[in-house]
Each structure stands twice: as C-alpha cells, then as structure tokens.
Amino acid sequence: MTWLGACILALALSPASSWAAGYTQTKYPIVLVHGLFGFDNIGPVDYWYGIPSALRADGAKVYVAQVSAANSTEMRGEQLLTQVKQILAATGATKVNLIGHSHGGPTTRYVASVRPDLVASVTSVGGVNQGSAVADVILGVAPPGSLSNTVLVSVTNGLASIISFLSGGSGQSQNSLEAAKSLSTAGSLKFNLAHPEGVPTTACGEGAYSVSGVSYFSWSGAKAYTNVFDIMDPALALTSLAFGGAKNDGLVASCSTRLGRVIRDDYAMNHMDEVNQTIGLVNLFETNPVTLYRQQANRLKNLGL
C-alpha cells in the first residue's frame, strides 16, 4: 500500500471529525441573544463574531435576536418572546433552543419561564444569573467598605471604557438604570424568585437540568486578561477588581453564571472572549469559544433537541 493510500485509510477509519456534516444540526432552531450593551455590529464586526456561520456550516438553523441593548430583564424578555414567535411562524418549528450571553442569560430564562412550551433548551453563557458586583457598584449598593475608593474608580473607569467601545444598539427602547437594577444582586434575587427554573439552590452549585420540558445548561470563563493584543482586556482587568478576588470573567462572578447543568465555569476566557471578541483575539491556550458553541449544538442534537 502506498503512503497516500495508508493515510486515506487511516482517515476513513478514524472517528468522525467534529466538523462533519450535520454535527450542529439541532432539531429546533438556535436563537442567539446578546447581553448588556449588545450591538448590531461595530463596523463590520458582529456581536457573535464568527459563531452563527460556524453553527450554520454543519446544519444548524441560527437566528440572532435583537433586543434592547440596555433595559430590564422583563422588557428584554418580552421583546425576545415576540421574536421567538415570529421565528416559529416563519420556520414551522414548534420550539427553539435559546443561547444567551451575559444579560442574555436571564433574558432567555424569562421566555422559558413564561412560555416553556415554546422552548426546548436554555444555554446561559457568562450569564448574570445571580447578580453582578459591577452592577452593584454602578448602583452604589456595594457593601460598605467592600471596595476601596481606588478600586471603585478603577472599576467604573474600566466599565466606561467597555461601554464607549460598544456601539450600535438594537434600535429597541433603552433604559440603562433598569438594566443595572436587573443585573444587581438584589434585582437578580427578585427575578429568581419569580423565575427560579434552573437556578442553583446551593452556593455555587448546579440547578435542575430540566424544568417543564426545558433543558438548562451554562458555561463561562474565569480569566479577565487573556490576550495582550485585545483592546478590551485592560478594561475587563479593571472591572474584575469588583469581585474581591473571587473567580470571574471580568464582569460576572463564576458562581453567578451557573445554571442547570454546568458544563464549566472556569474556562480561561473573559466576558468578551465568550462571544469570540474582540474580533477573535481570545486566549490562544484555551479552547476556542466558537468550538464551545459548536459542541453545545452537538450536545443539543444528541439529546434530540
């Protein structure tokens, strides 16, 4: 047998590649839901950088929702519910798989809570499921003495840099104060009492894997500074100071991101890496975030979702 023939035979006998046709072909459409200050694009750059096309490449039907960049979880949730109904009407599907990043996590949870019949699964990526210390700082409700003035200034400066970088917006109504309230520790607790599905009942634990026919998953990063060439990383390093040393991705504590089945909460990624930003400048020594979305689509596929 020739060397080329041996190589071809070895490839034929090897396990199917994760890039095989149909790898991401879920039963139900995937709907991606952006987080706080989510944008349509920054110039030619989409919020979900390279992710929708990677999912579609091997069979997934993918839709990118556009909800308010900054508003309450309930307002964003109602906007998303309207779009979910439109997607179902257009595709003939009976349910959708919701994947939400950051504030998109609780936004997707709202829809699954009020209309579980329309949702097959919820995947929270870096989701603010039990509040964020950064939101508490914005509202001035961080515990007295928990942050020095120097740290407080650093956190707010970092956040200002992030906000100034993110531009565009969804064209929906905006209310930054309501967004901050929703993402605060107190606001998240109130939301969770009304919509408890998938939320852990123990500190930094897992939540129910399935509630009312909806499967719940989560994953997140835990490293604020990951790439010296990414202009967002210094700002995230500053906002990470709000967590007092607790594991976080720069904007959300790892324990707060946990929902349902926790795939991992400690990838060496920051909050922007989780959506392959900025323009793919992520940690070269960690699994590429696009791969994680593809793996999740395959996981849903294998579950018949």
| Both tokens assigned to 261 | 């089945």
Indicate if the pLDDT at residue 97 is higher than 60: yes
Residues 135, 15: Cα–Cα separation, whole Å: 46
Q: What integer pLDDT is reported at residue 169 of this predicted model?
A: 46
Cβ atoms of residues 47 and 276 within 8 Å: no
Q: Is the peptide bond before 226 cis (omega within 30 degrees of 0)?
A: no
Averaged pLDDT score across all residues of the chain: 86
Tell me if residue 9 falls in helix, strand or coil.
helix
Question: What are the pLDDT digits (tens) for 176-228?
Answer: 778 888 999 999 999 999 999 999 999 899 999 999 999 999 999 999 999 99
User: Which of the following is catalytic: 34, 101, 103, 271?
Assistant: 271
**pLDDT band at 7, cuts 50/70/90?**
very low
User: Which of the following is catalytic: 46, 58, 230, 249?
Assistant: 249
271 assigned to active site:
yes
Indicate if the pLDDT at residue 15 is higher than 60: no
Residues 117, 133: Cα–Cα separation, whole Å: 33
Exposed / middle / buried, residue 245 (Cβ in 10 Å: 0-12, 13-18, 19+): exposed
Q: What integer pLDDT is reported at residue 151 of this predicted model?
A: 57
Residues 102, 252: Cα–Cα separation, whole Å: 8
102 assigned to active site:
yes
**pLDDT band at 160, cuts 50/70/90?**
very low
**Who wins on pLDDT, 45 or 268?**
268
User: Which of the following is catalytic: 102, 124, 132, 182?
Assistant: 102
Residues 35, 179: Cα–Cα separation, whole Å: 10
Q: What integer pLDDT is reported at residue 180 of this predicted model?
A: 82
Residues 149, 160: Cα–Cα separation, whole Å: 16
What's the predicted TM-score (pTM) here? 0.87
Q: What integer pLDDT is reported at residue 140 of this predicted model?
A: 77
